[in-house]
Structure 1
Amino acid sequence: MLIYRFLTGEDTSAFCHKVTKALSEGWQLHGSPSYAFDGATMKMKCGQAVTREVADQPYDPDRKLTDYV
């Protein structure tokens, strides 16, 4: 089963660390990153989709995606 996450955050090194952590846990980049200005906070925001292949199992929307193995 393929699972999907969309990581978001302010344009800081913390966002890069969030993506790097996901990659180190077996997630793979999916598509291009996004970058947008948030007029409410007056800051730039980043987003990156990641996917990971896990063993076939029933999908449970109440389960955290990071708990799938």
Structure 2
Amino acid sequence: MQIYRFLTGEDDSAFCHKVTKALSEGWTLHGSPSYAFDGATMKMRCGQAVTKQVSEQPYDPDKKLVDYV
């Protein structure tokens, strides 16, 4: 089964670390990153989709995606 996450954050090193942590946990980049201006905070925000192949199991929407193995 393949699972999907969309990581978001301000355009700073913390966002890069978030994506790097996901990659180190076996997630792979999916598509291009997104970049947009947040008028409410007056800051740029980034987004990156990641996917991960996990063992076949029933999908449970109450289960955290990071808990799938």
Do both share a fold (TM > 0.5)?
yes
| Distance (whole Å) between structure 2 residues aligned to residue 36 and residue 52 of structure 1 | 25
**What does residue 19 of structure 2 align with?**
19
Deviation of the 1:5 alpha carbon: 0.1
**What does residue 59 of structure 2 align with?**
59
Identical counterparts, % of pairs: 86
Deviation of the 1:29 alpha carbon: 0.1
**What does residue 9 of structure 1 align with?**
9
Aligned alpha-carbon RMSD (Å): 0.2
Q: Runs of 5+ in structure 1 lacking a partner? A: none
| Distance (whole Å) between structure 2 residues aligned to residue 40 and residue 64 of structure 1 | 29
Q: Does 2:40 align with 1:40? A: yes
TM-score by length of 2: 1.00
| Distance (whole Å) between structure 1 residues aligned to residue 62 and residue 9 of structure 2 | 23
What residue identity is the alignment partner of 2:49?
Answer: A
Q: Runs of 5+ in structure 2 lacking a partner? A: none
| Distance (whole Å) between structure 1 residues aligned to residue 44 and residue 62 of structure 2 | 30
| Distance (whole Å) between structure 1 residues aligned to residue 59 and residue 31 of structure 2 | 23
Moved over 2 A (4+): none
